[in-house]
Amino acid sequence: MSSISVLKDKCVGCGQCQQVCPFGAMSLVDGIATVDLNKCTYCGSCVDVCPTAAIVLKKDEAKAGIDKADYKGVWVYAEQRHGEISGVVFELLNEGKNLAKQLNVPLSCVLIGHNIKDKAADLIKRGADKVYVCQDPILAEFQDDPYSGILTQLIQKEKPEIVLMGATNIGRSFASRVAARISTGLTADCTALEIDPETRNLRQTRPAFGGNIMATILTPNHRPQMATVRHKVFKEAKIDENAKGEIIDFTADMSKILNRTKFLQFVKDETSHINIADADVIVSGGRGVGGKDGFKLITEFADLLGAAVGASRAAVDSDWIAYSHQVGQTGKTVAPKVYIACGISGQIQHLVGMSSSDVIIAINKDPSCPMMQIATYSLEGDLFEIIPQIIKEIKASRS
Amino acid sequence: MNIIVCIKQVPNTTDVKIDPETGRLKREGVESIVNPFDEYAIEEAVRFKEKYPGSTVTAISMGPPQAESALRQAISVGVDKGVLVCDRVLGGADTLATSYALSQAIKTLGAFDIIFCGKQATDGDTAQVGPAIAEALNIPHVAYVRKVESSDGKTIKVERLMEDGYDVIETNFPLLLTVVKEINTPRLPSLKGKMAAKKAQILTLTAADMKCDESRCGLKGSPTQVMKIFTPPQRQGGQKFTGGPEELAKTIVGKFKEIGII
């Protein structure tokens, strides 16, 4: 069992460990650092910061019982939805190529679906050296059982060292089943990836506590190292029409593939023309928008910019707009190039869902609200006066 | 029906403040709450119970002894029993080791028909534990469920929220669902519920009670390791503009052109 203790003769009671502990497990009792073992997760943050080396941490390590050298290559799961490759895949191919170059291994894609083999060429043009294609009528639409069964079989057969997947609803639904079946590590929703040149381990950095802290995660002894990666973090791989690659048909052992769910139908969200997870520009409305009519103005503004419409929880809970538009902790996390917050004060739960946007523009009557404080550009005033003027100005600049 | 809901106690992020001097997360005085997504899972579990008279809802939480209060809160809104999975051996567990421990707890409790989980917890934000529990129990799961369309106790039809709309999925019991906020509006505790919560006996399960393989528990059973934790640089405010609507509109449209969105 892992253990942590404080050497009382070395501890000077400086309290730095208490400040650094992300789990509130350290406190000073009679001037000596004390660990609440019920809260400690043995992350080691306190050990790193202790100036007198007074904290002794013994960490258990998970042993995998595999030879890591047997695992070679970087894989990208080429997610498709209704036969179209998801945008995040092209971003993963770009970052995957960087990692594969550093490791001096090929970059491969896994494409699962039905009648989708023609998409393999697009993946090669975006940098894949190999594309494994698995097609079957039961794979036409995403279902957890058959998709996780096939990806598991392929991984066990080909033994890649890294598997990257989009942190989409599909990726986050079935990656966890695959990792559990293989008994390997999976890091969710990564925003940075890096190879440790000495160990060839993948350093996976991800936000936690709603983005208030960042954690770098390793899967040191298990393979493959699996990660889901947030959309819009990496740039898309460029298209090279002359790129060459190999397309490999994978015939899964269908007798071992479970299929306990039945896909009945897909119902498109008609309230949004543009998916907020994919959007480069989002115009978002909050309590200050005042009602359904106010959202008509927000939508008009968004349409003019080719932007998606977002909303704060307050607006969704008041039934002014559908939940699928909600940005923030209980809604979606977005990171567009430009996020325009109209009448949104910026509660922490909203900020964690959008604060990694490149440019934030806030329109609000209250200059002291949190959104106006963090915005790249903040416009103080009534959105019902400012937005119609902006619309007029854009139309004038285009005519 | 035997209905299970898995819940987690998390720090209330509304209270989480950043120390402006150190740039660190201030945890003092931060209240612990039931993970907001789990409230929808609890509500859906209780609604299921109401649909099938004679059913029992059991809430399970893995965590320190303090997590008992999360289980009592679940009981106050209609859950029948609370089970706390608590053992130092389980400390430092990643999502794989956590889902192993929770699946062992569920096996220990006996037969079940349906398991509800929130789509993710607001501290770890992984969304991985629900599907991994389903894998460990070898049952199907549907994630991001926004509506249970129908259920006859043998088969169930649900709507799975996707980025572009929703999928309608049918599957059989037993199964696991992870739910999103859209699925319901959680009720408030009743007076009777509060009394029940106060009086309830919380069952505590240790790793030994659940016949856990220790090599699959805690840090020893966690393929992922935290290498370091750091605070991201805080976002700095930028330019502030005041003035009449026309002037502001001209300024910002100029910025749109600079950024290249028009």
Domain coordinates in residue numbering, chain A? 3-59, 68-256, 281-398
Confidence at residue A330, expressed as pLDDT on a 0 to 100 scale:
83
Position B255 confidence tier, pLDDT thresholds 50, 70, 90: very high
Confidence at residue A27, expressed as pLDDT on a 0 to 100 scale:
92
Question: CA-based angle A129:A134:A136, to the nearest 5?
Answer: 160
Confidence at residue B17, expressed as pLDDT on a 0 to 100 scale:
65
Nearest to A393 among B19, B237, B253 (CB): B253
Which residue ranges of chain A lie beneath pLDDT 50?
A: none
Residue B194's CB is within 10 A of a number of other CB atoms, namely 15
Confidence at residue A255, expressed as pLDDT on a 0 to 100 scale:
87
Residue B21 reports pLDDT greater than 80? no
Confidence at residue B26, expressed as pLDDT on a 0 to 100 scale:
66
Q: How far apart are CA B41 and CA B7, in angstroms?
A: 8
Q: What is the dotted CATH code of the domain comprising A3-59?
A: 3.30.70.20
Over range B84-96, report the average pLDDT.
94
Over range B211-233, report the average pLDDT.
91
- Provide, as residue numbers in chain A, all residues whose Cβ is less than 8 Å from the Cβ of B231: 212-214
Q: Do A143 and B28 touch (CB under 8 A)?
A: no
Q: Do A261 and B30 touch (CB under 8 A)?
A: no
- Residue A384: HSE in the Cβ half-sphere, 13 Å Cα cutoff: 9
Q: Do A143 and B169 touch (CB under 8 A)?
A: yes
Q: How far apart are CA A162 and CA A109, in angstroms?
A: 11
- Provide, as residue numbers in chain B, all residues whose Cβ is less than 8 Å from the Cβ of A23: 27
- Provide, as residue numbers in chain A, all residues whose Cβ is less than 8 Å from the Cβ of B181: 323, 326, 330-331
Question: CA-based angle A196:A200:A205, to the nearest 5?
Answer: 50
- Provide, as residue numbers in chain A, all residues whose Cβ is less than 8 Å from the Cβ of B226: 41, 43-44, 215-217
b/e map of A101-131 (b: 16 or more CB within 10 Å)? eebebbbbbbbbbeebeebbebbbbbbbbbb
In angstroms, what separates the C-alpha of B43 from chain A's closest C-alpha?
16
Residue B175 reports pLDDT greater than 60? yes
Over range B69-98, report the average pLDDT.
96
- CATH label, A281-398, candidates 3.20.20.140, 1.10.1740.10, 3.20.20.60, 3.40.50.1220: 3.40.50.1220
The answer to whether the beta carbons of residues A76 and A92 sit under 8 Å apart is: yes
Residue B15 reports pLDDT greater than 80? no
Residue B77's CB is within 10 A of a number of other CB atoms, namely 23
Q: Do domains A68-256 and A281-398 have the same CATH topology?
A: yes
Nearest to A267 among B168, B227, B249 (CB): B168
Tell me the average pLDDT of chain A: 94
Q: Do B169 and A379 touch (CB under 8 A)?
A: no
Q: What is the dotted CATH code of the domain comprising A68-256?
A: 3.40.50.620
Nearest to A269 among B134, B164, B169 (CB): B164
Q: Do B232 and A262 touch (CB under 8 A)?
A: no
Q: Counting one residue from A and one from B, how many pairs have CB atoms under 8 Å apart?
A: 325
Nearest to A185 among B18, B36, B224 (CB): B224
